[in-house]
Amino acid sequence: MKKNIIAEKSFDYALLIIKLYQYLVSEKREYVMSKQLLRAGTSVGANVREAGVAQSKKEFIAKMNISLKEIHECEYWLLLLNRAGYISREQALEQQTDEIKRILSSIIKTSNESMDKQSAADNPKKDL
């Protein structure tokens, strides 16, 4: 079976987010931003997983777009937590967040191009 890189990376990312959430709650007593981060960070992989069983290319792209929005939200909460002094720059998961953003953007772009080509093939323009 073919490896699903984004599924693996988003799952591993969710585990890192869970550990960071546990740290923020137990060590820093931060409950509001950490809960938002937990929600967004675990949602990335959940939507990627849902995309894997999408019933259409359009649904697949929609789920991947939701994942991309969620990773952008994670980036916001991580930056805010860092700037507010709750986490260090090393804890802010910049490299992992950027990597997932790049992969999702590439998947969405390629899928849209593929869908456009298929649409053009299904609906050829007739010369008048």
Note the pLDDT tens digit of each residue in 69-101. Answer: 999 999 999 999 999 999 999 999 999 999 999
CA gap 8, 15 in Å, rounded: 11
**Per-residue pLDDT, 126:** 56
By C-alpha distance, which of 16, 34, 39 is closest to 86? 34
Given the structure tokens 């002094």, which residue do they identify? 85
Answer whether CATH 1.20.1440.60 is correct for domain 5-112: yes
Count of Cβ atoms closer than 10 Å to residue 31 Cβ: 10
Average pLDDT of the residues of the chain: 95
Q: Point out the least confidently predicted range of 35-49, 55-69, 88-102, 110-124.
A: 110-124
DSSP codes of every residue in 31-42: -HHHHHHHHHHH
- For 95, the token pair is 């490299």
Per-domain residue ranges of the chain: 5-112
**So what's the pLDDT on residue 94?**
97
- The H or E element containing residue 87 is none
